[in-house]
Amino acid sequence: MSAPATTVSAPLTGASAAAANPAGKALAVGLAGLSVSAIGVIVSGAHAAATSYLVGFSYWTAVAIGMLMLVLIHHIFDASWSTVIRRQYEHGLAAFKWLFVLFLPLLATPFISGGDTIWPWMNPAHVMHHGTVAEDVLYQKKAAFLNVPMFIGATLVFFAVWVWLSARLRKASFTQDTDGDLKWTTMNRKTAAFGIPMNALALTFAAIFWMKSLEYHWFSTMYGVWFFANCIRAALAFGVFIMVWLTARGDYRGILNKNHWHCIGTLGHAFVIFWAYVTFSQYFLIWNANVPEETFWYNLREIHADGTPSQWKWVGLLILFGHFFVPFLYLLSFRLKSTAAGLLRINIWIAAIILIDLCYNILPSLKDAHGDPLPFLSLNLVWVAASVVGVGGVCVWAYLRSLAGSGAKLIPVRDPRIKESLTYHE
Amino acid sequence: MSAQPHGLIATFDTAAEIYHAAEQVRDAGYRHWDCITPCPVHGLDGAMGVRRSIVPRFSLAGGITGFCAGMTMIWWTGAVDYQLTVGGKPLFSPMFAFPISYELTILFTAFATIFGIFATNFLPMHYHPVLKYDHIVRGLDDKFFVVVEARDPKFDTKATRALLEKIGGKHITELEA
């Protein structure tokens, strides 16, 4: 498509050719963020910097996974209302191959300085409070799954699944813009049929390998579902940001009506409840069973070794209220969930809380000398912010590049459901 | 024969006609009136000036009641009426009361919604004066009707009839109460 060039902020200092367009700016911001992340390695050490980077990385991966899932769900249900929104998600899927590139530094960590830069189980000599990893029976029992070749192989498979599914969906959808052939719709529906289980497995195992295995003693069958809920919520939030931006810029003016917004809001509301259901279930089952192999994970996030409450307790409460009660009560209101302004406000909040939720799950694996997690408010938050900006800049760049340069129309003009989508009503 | 009729009924042939007719009845300031259509007409709510349903308020009240009922029940039975320590857990904790409260929230919300719909629609209603109109069955098939009720403060047999004629209503008939 020929996007109207946004030359609003034309006066640029040190105007390079790349900085004149928004995509170039996004990339520049992204690279700057990544540089700050690299500085973190020097300032705080590889362990803290890489773990913080994992937060920012999984945040944007969650957005991309959620977008992929929403496109697949759109196709499997042969949905009509979301046709005009789907195109922007398809552009968002362009980020996957760059996310893979951005994961490469983490894939290299098993081979440097003992291997336990992020994941302690990668180094058999890593000292736990009861001996080394290699002597730990819980590691021995899980060693067939938690080992470096499995980790690398699985990660390659995850990205292969995501990149391949995205490429298929994008190609079919974009080609239909020019030839209007119905076979592309059928092809996407078939992709959705096998793509949903593939994506579900990939995101579940990614959550297990990348995040849950940070505390490899722990068990939770809910973990993948928890991550999935955050993926969809993140994708819906960023979908709203894109819609609001494109409407404000003029591209989407007249395309979206109140009912589209209401549907996004309602879907977001449903996933607020879904997230709460899953997250509470995980907490409740562990609380109720009261088995030390499981409860320690929450103890680390509530109290110090001496029993006094830690900062993470308040972070947990912030997540409970901020990730559930606030958006739940807010989105009960029809008025608030059916307008762009109302949705923008709550989704900025949700997008921020998702990041805190990921911090809560990842950062406590950084321990001090007593085995207590480092506090939430620490220098590491700077590296987290840098990674969010860094990986985010690259993802936004990939999206904008696809939006302007993929040759696809602004909306899928020859999709068989496009008319229904444009005239969508209650 | 009561002197006061139930109201006036006018017939329209198409959805577009009744849509624009509804807009004019709305703008004329009538409040007790209705449209009868054989199929949903999108946007007719707006054309009639109907506000959003108040049923969600019933639902919210039901949900809050259900949640509180669940919490209170678990607290009363476990911590007050028959204290029994199970699995070393406290006598009351919102943790284990949550699943019950959650279920009751849903149950009471569903009940409140159903009863709210019945209450706001005055259901069950076994008789309505409109049913006496000979051609009302066409309202299930291919005709559209506007009914203006006599209890409307603006109702005036002559003026209302004139309005219905002006907006294109046909076969304007007085409905027996």
Over range A103-132, report the average pLDDT: 89
Q: What percent of chain B has pLDDT over 90?
A: 80
Query: Per-residue pLDDT for A15 more than 50?
Result: no
Does residue A5 carry a pLDDT above 50?
no
Angstrom distance (rounded) from CA A79 to CA A142 = 42
Residue B165 and residue B9 in contact, taking contact as beta carbons nearer than 8 Å: no
A5 belongs to a structural domain? no
Residue of B98, B100, B105 to mutate for A, most A C-beta atoms under 10 A:
B98
By the 8 A CB rule, do A92 and A63 touch?
yes
A425 part of contact set with chain B, CB < 8 Å = yes
Does A334 lie at the interface with B, CB-CB under 8 angstroms?
Answer: yes
Tell me the average confidence (pLDDT) per consecutive run of 10 residues in chain B, 177 residues long: 79 94 93 93 91 93 97 96 91 93 96 96 91 90 94 90 92 88
How does the average pLDDT of chain A come out, rounded?
Answer: 92
How far, in Å, CA of B85 to CA of B121, rounded?
49
The residue among B52, B1, B23, B70 whose CA lies nearest residue B168 is: B23
Q: Alpha-carbon distance A22 to A396, whole Å?
A: 9
Kindly tell me if the per-residue pLDDT of A38 is higher than 60: yes
Which H or E run contains B113? helix B94-120
Which residue segment(s) compose the domain that A356 sits in?
A: 25-422
CB A96 within 8 A of CB A192: no
Q: A337-364: per-residue pLDDT in tens?
A: 999 999 999 999 999 999 999 999 999 9
**Contact state of B96 with A288 under an 8 Å Cβ cutoff:** yes
pLDDT band at A405 (very low <50, low <70, confident <90, very high): confident
* pLDDT confidence of residue A407: 85
Q: Are A71 and A174 in contact (CB under 8 A)?
A: no
A182 touches chain B (CB under 8 A): no
Categorize the per-residue pLDDT at A127 as very low, low, confident or very high, splitting at 50, 70 and 90: confident
Asked if residue A9 has pLDDT above 50, the reply is no
Q: What one-character-per-residue DSSP string does A339-362 give?
A: SHHHHHHHHHHHHHHHHHHHHHHH
The interface predicted TM-score of the complex, written ipTM, equals 0.86
Average pLDDT over every residue of A374-389: 95
Q: Do A280 and B98 touch (CB under 8 A)?
A: yes
Structural domains counted in chain A: 1
Chain Cα centroid distance, residue B102: 27
Q: Which is it for the CA torsion A230, A305, A210, A207, positive or negative?
A: negative
> Which stretches of A143-257 are DSSP H helices?
148-179, 183-206, 223-249
pLDDT grade for A10, boundaries at 50, 70 and 90: very low
Residue A3 lies inside a defined structural domain of this protein: no
In a domain, A381, yes or no: yes
Using CA atoms, how far apart are residues B22 and B31, in angstroms rounded to an integer? 12
Does B42 sit within 8 Å of A334, measured CB to CB?
no
CA distance A248 to chain B (A): 26
Burial class from Cβ neighbours inside 10 Å (0-12, 13-18, 19+) for residue A142 reads middle
Please report, rounded to a whole number, the percentage of residues in chain A having pLDDT higher than 90. Answer: 85
CB distance A262 to A338 below 8 Å: yes
φ and ψ of A192, to 5 deg: -65, -40
Band (pLDDT 50/70/90 cuts) for residue A185 is very high
Q: Give yes or no for a contact between B8 and B148, defined as CB atoms under 8 angstroms apart.
A: yes
Q: What proportion of chain A, given as a percentage, has pLDDT over 70?
A: 95
Q: Calculate the CA dihedral of residues A407, A409, A414, A417 and round it to 10 degrees.
A: 130
Mean pLDDT comparison of A6-10, A31-35, A130-134, highest-scoring range: A31-35
- Tell me, yes or no, whether A311 lies in a domain: yes
* Residue A169 located in a structural domain: yes
**Residue A3 pLDDT > 60:** no
The residue ranges of DSSP E strands in B5-149, in sequence order, are 7-12, 33-36, 144-149
Chain B hits for A284, CB-CB cut-off 8 Å, are 95-96, 98-99
| Residue of B59, B100, B101, B102 for testing the chain A interface, max A β-carbons within 10 Å | B102
**Region A158-187 average pLDDT:** 96
Residue A2 resides in a domain: no
Tell me the pLDDT tens digit for each residue of A240-297: 999 999 999 999 988 999 999 999 999 999 999 999 999 999 999 999 999 998 999 9
Closest-CA residue to B24 (of B35, B37, B14): B35
Buried b (16+ CB within 10 A) or exposed e, A223-257: bbbbbbbbbbbbbbbbbbebbbebbeeebbeebbe
Q: What is chain B's percent helix, strand, coil content, to nearest 5?
A: 55, 10, 35
Range from A83-92, A127-136, A183-192, A391-400 carrying the lowest mean pLDDT: A127-136
Q: Is residue A353 part of a domain?
A: yes
- Predicted pLDDT at A21: 79
Contacts of A280 in chain B (CB under 8 A): 98
